[in-house]
Chains A and B, each alone.
Chain A
């Protein structure tokens, strides 16, 4: 496991995101490719939030779809029905997702599979609510009439280059926040809680409170990306916004990329999303996700620490040669 004191975050993060930000230019910036990268970055944001919770606090969540959907619906409704500016409703979507996570507080006393099962059940409640509260949410038919992303300082965020730039900036910000928390005493305690909860409580760590903060932060980030996604795609329906794939894909992305690292979930999200859409879909039109499963199994067998761990190992071997 990489030490949190390793000098990774600063330069490596900056370099990685510069490369990512330059990709559209390098690839000719077609709308199709930008669309793929935008979707990959949405997934990257959720994967980062999932890994934050899994790595710091040791909570494996199968319910991030709930936060994603709540963020999307909250922002779309606040902008569409109350007329609030989208730049305000997007963070409010994140805040409402964080608020929704409070309902999970009793489950924080559970650990391992019990927490995972509790949050899986919890996610279903919100999908049902979004379907049944049809006067507010439009029910199964969903929502369509709400504003898209605005133009800010001359940059049209509703355009694909604008949305892409915004998402790159937010994912980078998320990575920096994650790295800062990870290196703090708070992050050390959270990492310790994951495997030695009594050992941390006995030295004064309020483990339940710290886990609650991490859950709320993870829910906030997920809700934020859910809100952005809602305004980028311009429609919402319960079976999409609360789809199980928003719970499962972030896990696959994080584990594939290396969930104990800061950049692993982001890299994993970009690789698996592009693989799924460009390669797998081309090979198997229906049920192409099966190839994602095979890819994940291959990665776990070949490199349990994920893509980043594999790259570090190869880099180390080359340096040592």
Chain B
């Protein structure tokens, strides 16, 4: 479904991503992990179109490397932001309405209601998104907006951050439900190893902008390079 070929991003002299290549299969739930500053959000920005990388990005065999942000959303790539970015001054339902009309190219109020209910935002539908919602509600709104565009690939950037362990397990279960209900392929940035182990069928580890491990989560987290990247140990 998604193929990254030697994706490189530079910010001046800093190489944020260096020759990153991997694929994501349809229906997969992939965990993208790595220490802070490893390049995870930068990679999401490159895939979703906020920044233009070198290399190639293919989505469903279509080269989208030069496609603008809004077109990628219409092609079926939805994303959430680590720091929620609601459409200010609009209500929660209006946020979803804009996403559906422009992202999915159709109007379906019943589906919006379904998304609101699934994301536990039904009671907030008519409240303004800016200022009236708690952080966790804003994070759910991020996902709800992405779902309203009817994506096939969903990029989730630290949506579980800040939750205590019980809430984290419940939210992970919610993501599994979304994955099955909306036939999604999910790439999720997450720091919590237990969550990745329980949610993802595969994990890719980034460090200093490079892929240092790729495979089954249990095996990846035993990889000495991954352990070293998290603990700061240096190879002998």
Contacts and interface: CB of A to CB of B under 8 A. Distances in A.
Interface string B62-106: 000000111101100011010001111111001101110111110
A246 B6 CA distance: 54
A102 interface: no
A199 B70 contact: no
A244 to B, nearest CB: 31
B210 interface: no
B89 A192 contact: yes
A188 interface: yes
B85 A185 contact: no
A185 B73 CA distance: 17
**Interface SS majority for chain A:** helix
B32 interface: no
A202 B86 CA distance: 11
A225 to B, nearest CB: 28
B137 to A, nearest CB: 16
B41 interface: no
B88 A196 contact: yes
B148 interface: yes
Contact of A192 (B73, B90, B105, B149): B90
A204 interface: yes
Q: Counting chain B CB atoms within 10 Å of each CB, which of A201, A202, A205 scores highest?
A: A202
A200 interface: yes
Q: Counting chain B CB atoms within 10 Å of each CB, which of A191, A198, A205, A207 scores highest?
A: A205
A205 B99 CA distance: 8
B8 interface: no
B146 interface: yes
A199 B85 contact: yes
B101 A198 contact: no
B102 A192 contact: no
Contact of B98 (A195, A198, A205): A205
Given A185-B98, A188-B94, A188-B98, A201 B89 contact: no
Interface in B32-49: 48
A105 to B, nearest CB: 15
Nearest to B69: A201
Contact of A204 (B81, B86, B89, B102): B102
Nearest to B87: A192
A203 B90 contact: no
Contacts, number: 79
Contacts of B87: 188, 192, 196, 199-200
A241 to B, nearest CB: 36
Given A203-B148, A204-B74, A189 B102 contact: yes
Nearest to A206: B70
A204 B68 CA distance: 10
Contacts of A82: none
Contact of A188 (B70, B73, B90): B90
A314 to B, nearest CB: 24
A1 interface: yes
B50 interface: yes
Contacts of B101: 185, 189
Nearest to A1: B89
B102 A196 contact: no
A189 B89 contact: no
Contact of B97 (A188, A195, A201): A188
A189 B50 contact: no
A66 B87 CA distance: 32
B97 A196 contact: no
Given A185-B102, A202-B73, 5 more contacts: A188-B97, A192-B88, A204-B74, A206-B68, A206-B102
28 contacts: A3-B91, A185-B101, A188-B98, A189-B98, A191-B89, A192-B87, A192-B89, A192-B90, A196-B85, A196-B87, A198-B69, A198-B85, A199-B85, A199-B87, A200-B87, A200-B102, A201-B70, A202-B48, A202-B79, A203-B78, A203-B98, A203-B103, A203-B145, A203-B148, A203-B149, A204-B74, A204-B99, A204-B102
Interface of B: 48, 50, 68-71, 73-74, 78-79, 81, 85-91, 94-95, 97-99, 101-105, 107, 145-146, 148-149
